[in-house]
């Protein structure tokens, strides 16, 4: 039986405000709150909320037979919590159905996997802790930022104990092979790879509303027929789609939500089931290994990372940012670490893309050079703040040793404070006699009673104090002998 796995991606960056050169050192707040508020509310109203309700309806009407996966970044969660908390509630309802699997990823949808392995692993851990805290599940399948992947990254993914990774089924990697199988990493054979079917994904995102397409209009039964007609041995079709496609780029008036709602019914008729990535990976075995020496992604025709690292502007900005990563991670300044997360979002570097990779209408800036200048002004102020706490003259190893000493001393002080607190508690609960003694010692204003002077009688003379020898017998009532 053919299996289809839908992956819906949700990501929003914290967009930067216009930050001038003269703001450096004077203004430490970098974000366009108005734009962030307006965009997340608009997309939530048009796309996220209707999509969540559509998925809930599909799960309910199919009796739990419809299943899918959601990949959501930490920065998107933060904005949704801030501006559209009702959508977080819908995600919790989806998690409660047990039919939706939440994927692991980088917290800020960053490029750390290409720049800093330690930072990459820290971000993934931070993201997964947030997912567990909100939805009560621990992600088991990994999907990197824009599905970026290569052999080196696979080793990092395996080191984090993931068994399954989602990435792009690129033609220049697969060649004649089909993406509709489970593969494994050539350098980490225990890591299973699920590959997206970019053609069938694009038929929804790019062609659904394309009147010039020779297959227009796309209907649910036609789409399921295409999947059912695939060779029998091709058992899994992975469809990776941005959730804001539904309702924003493809408005509700196009019938896109009705198309989705009809899929489970036609799938059941044609013997096509819907699954989660974990279920598919447990059921299916890899058919071979894939060697991917250079990074791939799901962006642009080249399916590489040139959209973020294709020109000198992007490489300069990335180099400056990650050069201070070690110092930032040593600090405990909450605002500094928060800015560090937000500045890592891949969107900032995508806006700097030129040529065929240009962000175009997706960018809030007039040009890639405008985006670069604005970002570097922000980064310059951020670097100043980092160096104020951790000067560049001090080497990272020396700084780390100093901070370790300070933290050890702080831990020792905390331990001593606990001991003092425990001793005070023991004193308060001691018996009455000890309490009385403590009260006397601690209250010097209570004067101890002075000892009374003993009343001594005047000493008698030897003659008066001692009886005469001849008087003693009389006092004992005896007569003297003859």
The total of other beta-carbon atoms located within 10 Å of residue 334's CB is: 8
Query: Is 400 strand, coil or helix?
Result: helix
Query: Is 396 strand, coil or helix?
Result: helix
CA atoms within a 13 Å half-sphere pointing along the CA-CB vector of 215:
14
**pLDDT at position 276:** 98
Would the CA dihedral through 268, 269, 271, 274 be positive or negative? negative
CA triplet 205, 210, 213: central angle to 5 degrees? Answer: 110
Instruction: Sort 297 into a burial class: Cβ within 10 Å, 0-12 / 13-18 / 19+.
Output: buried
**pLDDT at position 466:** 45
pLDDT digits (tens, 9 = 90+) for 455-478: 444 444 444 444 444 444 444 444
Distance between CA atoms of 126 and 124, rounded to whole angstroms? 5
- For residue 237, the cross-strand partners are 4
346 and 110 in contact (C-beta within 8 Å)? yes
pLDDT digits (tens, 9 = 90+) for 19-54: 999 999 999 999 999 999 999 999 999 999 999 999
> In the 8-state DSSP scheme, what is residue 45?
I
Q: 78, 101, 119, 146: which is the annotated catalytic residue?
A: 146
Centroid of chain to Cα 111: 15
**pLDDT at position 395:** 54
Element (H or E) spanning 159, and its range?
A: helix 151-159
User: Pairing mode, if any, of strands 289-290 and 182-185?
Assistant: parallel
Q: Which residue has the tokens 């929804």?
A: 204
Residue 84: CB partners within 8 Å, gap ≥ 6?
A: 40, 41, 44, 48, 49
Element (H or E) spanning 34, and its range?
A: helix 33-43
- 398 in active site: no
**Res 419 pLDDT > 90:** no
| Average of per-residue pLDDT across 128-151 | 98
Band of residue 401 on the pLDDT scale cut at 50, 70, 90: low
**pLDDT at position 330:** 85
**pLDDT at position 455:** 47
CA triplet 451, 457, 458: central angle to 5 degrees? Answer: 130
Residue 223: CB partners within 8 Å, gap ≥ 6?
A: 200, 203, 204, 259, 263
- For residue 358, the cross-strand partners are none
- What's this model's pTM, rounded to 2 decimal places? 0.82
**Res 399 pLDDT > 60:** no
Distance between CA atoms of 97 and 82, rounded to whole angstroms? 25
């Amino acid at each position: 039986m053919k299996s289809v796995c839908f992956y819906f991606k949700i990501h929003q960056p914290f967009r930067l405000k216009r930050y001038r050169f003269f703001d450096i050192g004077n203004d430490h707040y970098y974000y366009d709150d108005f734009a962030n508020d307006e965009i997340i509310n608009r997309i939530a109203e048009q796309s996220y909320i209707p999509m969540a309700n559509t998925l809930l309806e599909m799960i309910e009407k199919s009796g739990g037979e419809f299943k899918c996966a959601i990949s959501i970044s930490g920065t998107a969660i933060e904005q949704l919590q801030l501006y559209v908390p009702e959508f977080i509630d819908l995600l919790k309802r989806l998690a409660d159905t047990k039919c939706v699997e939440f994927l692991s990823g980088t917290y800020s949808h960053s490029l750390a996997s290409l720049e800093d392995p330690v930072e990459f692993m820290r971000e993934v851990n931070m993201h997964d802790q947030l997912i567990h805290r909100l939805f009560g599940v621990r992600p088991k399948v990994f999907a990197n930022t824009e599905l970026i992947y290569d052999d080196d990254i696979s080793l990092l993914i395996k080191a984090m104990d993931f068994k399954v990774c989602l990435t792009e089924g690129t033609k220049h990697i697969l060649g004649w092979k089909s993406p509709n199988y489970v593969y494994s990493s050539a350098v980490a054979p225990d890591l299973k790879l699920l590959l997206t079917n970019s053609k069938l994904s694009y038929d929804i995102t790019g062609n659904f509303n394309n009147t010039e397409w020779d297959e227009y209009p796309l209907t649910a039964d036609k789409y399921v027929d295409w999947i059912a007609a695939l060779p029998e041995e091709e058992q899994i079709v992975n469809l990776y789609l941005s959730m804001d496609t539904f309702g924003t780029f493809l408005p509700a008036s196009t019938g896109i939500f009705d198309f989705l709602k009809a899929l489970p019914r036609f799938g059941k008729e044609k013997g096509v089931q819907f699954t989660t990535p974990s279920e598919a990976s447990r059921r299916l075995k890899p058919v071979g290994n894939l060697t991917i020496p250079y990074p791939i992604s799901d962006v642009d025709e080249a399916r590489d990372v040139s959209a973020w690292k294709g020109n000198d502007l992007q490489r300069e900005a990335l180099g400056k940012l990650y050069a201070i990563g070690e110092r930032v991670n040593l600090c405990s300044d909450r605002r500094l670490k928060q800015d560090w997360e937000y500045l890592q979002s891949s969107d900032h570097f995508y806006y700097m893309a030129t040529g065929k990779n240009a962000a175009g209408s997706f960018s809030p800036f007039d040009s890639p050079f405008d985006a670069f200048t604005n970002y570097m002004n922000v980064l310059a102020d951020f670097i100043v703040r980092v160096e104020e706490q951790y000067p560049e003259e001090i080497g990272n190893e020396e700084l780390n040793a100093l901070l370790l000493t300070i933290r050890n001393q702080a831990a020792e002080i905390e331990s001593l404070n606990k001991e003092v607190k425990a001793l005070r508690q023991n004193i308060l609960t001691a018996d009455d006699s000890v309490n009385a003694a403590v009260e006397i010692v601690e209250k010097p204003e209570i004067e101890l009673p002075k000892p009374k002077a003993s009343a001594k009688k005047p000493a008698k003379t030897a003659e008066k104090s001692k009886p005469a020898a001849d008087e003693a017998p009389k006092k004992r009532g005896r007569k003297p002998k003859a």
